[in-house]
Amino acid sequence: MDLTITTAQLAAAAADVVRLVPGKLVDPVLGGLLLTADARGVVLAANDRERTARISCDALVHTEGQVLVPAKPLAETLRALDQPQVRLVVEGARLAIRAEGARFALPLLDVDLHPGVTEPPAPSGSVSATVFASALSTVATTAARDEALPIFTGVRVRSEGDKLVLRATDRYRMAIATIPWTPGPSTIDALIPATLLAEIGKQVVGDVWIGVDANRLSLAWEDMVVTTAVLDGTYLSESKLALSDFDTHVEADADALAGATRRVALYTDARGVISLEVGDSEVRLRTADRQTGEAEESVKATIDGGRTSPSYQARYLIDALRPFAGRRIQLAIQPGMRATVVTAVEGGEVDLRYIIMPMLPPKTG
């Protein structure tokens, strides 16, 4: 293999693949980047047996060929280069990375041990990358990080007519984003690792094509195709939540409420709980702890219905308000220990509902 390529383009492609498929520590081959050069350019591919990524780049190929090299060292070398052009050339048991005045050489790994990258499932439909990324920025971060409960580390991706619904929960809160979907030949319903979707949300551009088969989901945009194994498990569905008894509706500015929550939260006890007292034209956030002191702050609000006044984990309320920054939100509150639903007063392209569970109120001083 021998090719010349724009450093920035190859560096970006290698970095994207490494972030999508970080590799496994146990097996260097699964942390390898497979480079395949032919007349059309060079294809970078990775496969850790759960995820695959494949991206094609334009390159001036002098000699065709295929090599496997450690992915991260290659990506780091390319990222560090100032030189605009770079040449990749096999020299004995090394892949040399040559740039003006410099030569770096990585050991070749055994291509025959690599699983390769098989054809992805065909696309079932597509979404706009901007809207998809916006929805994922909230939904993918709501999933649990605790690997002991794999089912809660996933985002459920489901097509419903001309909508795509993205849902995640860690059991204490749930985010549900509904975005426009251009339906194709088949429907989608799969549970996908949230960490991968969070990274994908940072990379997507243009249109994103999504497809599924029996145990994989594929996402494709521009020159990139990613596949992932789907997670097992029947998923906590919204319909299992009691969401029928809203007696109090609060409308307020999301930023004002988040700011006040952040300040009052400095005074919570170890449980981190604050109470939201619903008044006539304001809500009052309040907490107290013998050690840390006490705090209360009022935020102007429009109140409709009853005066049910729940308590929440302050950090979950802050997380729930963050995606609505700059907008007015509605809290739909139920009596007792039943869920509160946060939505925007005026809808946008991403229709987002954020559900949080109330907590027992803070003990006062």
Binding site for a copy of itself (CB under 8 A): 73, 76-77, 80-82, 94, 101-107, 259-260, 262-264, 266-267, 291-299
Q: What is the DSSP letter of 264?
A: H
Euclidean distance between the first and final Cα of the chain, in Å? 72
- The distance from CA 216 to its chain's CA centroid, rounded to whole angstroms, is 18
Output the smallest distance, CB 217 to a copy of itself, in A: 34
Buried b (16+ CB within 10 A) or exposed e, 323-340: bbeeebbbbbbbeeebbb
Task: Give the residue with the Cβ less far from a copy of itself, 163 or 262.
Answer: 262
Task: Give the residue with the Cβ less far from a copy of itself, 105 or 111.
Answer: 105
Output the smallest distance, CB 77 to a copy of itself, in A: 6
Task: Give the residue with the Cβ less far from a copy of itself, 87 or 262.
Answer: 262
Task: Give the residue with the Cβ less far from a copy of itself, 24 or 290.
Answer: 290
Backbone angles phi, psi at 13, to 5 degrees: -65, -45
Task: Give the residue with the Cβ less far from a copy of itself, 91 or 189.
Answer: 91
Q: Which amino acid would we find at residue 333?
A: I
Output the smallest distance, CB 269 to a copy of itself, in A: 13
Output the smallest distance, CB 124 to a copy of itself, in A: 41
Distance separating alpha carbons of residues 111 and 108, to the nearest angstrom:
8
Output the smallest distance, CB 35 to a copy of itself, in A: 15
In 230-270, DSSP assigns E strands to 248-253
Torsion sign, CA atoms 227, 176, 349, 184: positive
Output the smallest distance, CB 24 to a copy of itself, in A: 17
Output the smallest distance, CB 80 to a copy of itself, in A: 4
Is residue 192 exposed (0-12), middle (13-18) or buried (19+ Cβ within 10 Å)? buried
Q: Which of 238, 362, 259, 258 is nearest to 310 (CA)?
A: 362
Task: Give the residue with the Cβ less far from a copy of itself, 93 or 214.
Answer: 93
Task: Give the residue with the Cβ less far from a copy of itself, 238 or 296.
Answer: 296
Judge whether 61 and 3 are in contact, CB under 8 Å: yes
Work out the number of other CB atoms within 10 angstroms of the CB of residue 89.
18
Distance separating alpha carbons of residues 302 and 308, to the nearest angstrom:
14
Q: For the chain, how long is the longest CA-to-CA vector?
A: 79
